[in-house]
Amino acid sequence: MRLLLAACLLGLACAGTAAASEEHPTAAELESELVCPVCDSTLDTSNAEIARRMKVRIRERIAAGATKSEIKAEFVEQFGERVLAEPPKRGFDLLAWVLPLVGGALALVAVATVARGWRRAGAAAEAQPTDVPLDPGLERRLDDELDRYE
């Protein structure tokens, strides 16, 4: 019960932070979420002329009281969705979010299957008798070979 209560309180605390970010975004936050249309790197790492103009526009819009969504929508309208650093979670772009999860799940299944096979092979090897008597001639030859190396 306490764990559930702690999880709910944490969720409420995070929701407040997210809402504050939406209403009062920072330039650094938006610059890391938007991509330069010329060099395809985020604005915070780009020095292209258009990236510098976009940074100035972001600061102007923040000073005017625009929300994060409004600023992003303005850039999407001007440059298209390729200006967003992370793809939208809908349509074909949903694959960018789902495919890594599916790949990770498949990798876990593959590792579990291989581990199960190794465990079964180990159990089968333990079940086989290891004290198989050697032919007396082979045993004598083995002893002679071992004596030569000692």
Classify 84 as helix, strand or coil: strand
Mean pLDDT of the chain: 82
Residue 19 has pLDDT above 60, yes or no: no
Residue 29 has pLDDT above 90, yes or no: yes
Residues 24 and 61 in one domain: yes
Model's pTM, two decimal places?
Answer: 0.51
pLDDT band for position 7 (50/70/90)?
A: low
Residues 72 and 94 in one domain: no
Asked if residue 71 belongs to a domain, the reply is yes
Residue 92 has pLDDT above 60, yes or no: yes
Residues 68 and 117 in one domain: no
> Could you report the per-residue pLDDT of 113-146, keeping only the tens digit for each?
999 888 887 766 666 666 667 788 888 888 899 9
pLDDT band for position 17 (50/70/90)?
A: very low
Residues 93 and 52 in one domain: no
Residues 117 and 75 in one domain: no
String of b and e for 58-78 (b: at least 16 CB within 10 Å)? Answer: beebbeeebebeebbeebeee
Q: Which two tokens stand for residue 86?
A: 């992370």
Residue whose entry in the numeric block shows the structure tokens 């008798």: 129
Residues 71 and 115 in one domain: no
Segments forming the whole domain that contains residue 106: 87-121
Residues 78 and 25 in one domain: yes
Asked if residue 142 belongs to a domain, the reply is no
Q: Which two tokens stand for residue 59?
A: 């600061």
Choice between 39 and 3, residue whose per-residue pLDDT is larger: 39
Residues 57 and 99 in one domain: no
Which amino acid does the sequence have at 26?
A: T
Total number of domains in the chain: 2
Residues 29 and 81 in one domain: yes
Residues 69 and 35 in one domain: yes
> Could you report the per-residue pLDDT of 71-80, keeping only the tens digit for each?
999 999 999 8
Q: Which of 69, 86, 103 is the last residue of a domain?
A: 86
Residues 110 and 76 in one domain: no
Residues 61 and 105 in one domain: no
Q: Which residues contact 41 (CB under 8 A, 6 or more apart)?
A: 35
Q: Which of 86, 104, 136 is the last residue of a domain?
A: 86
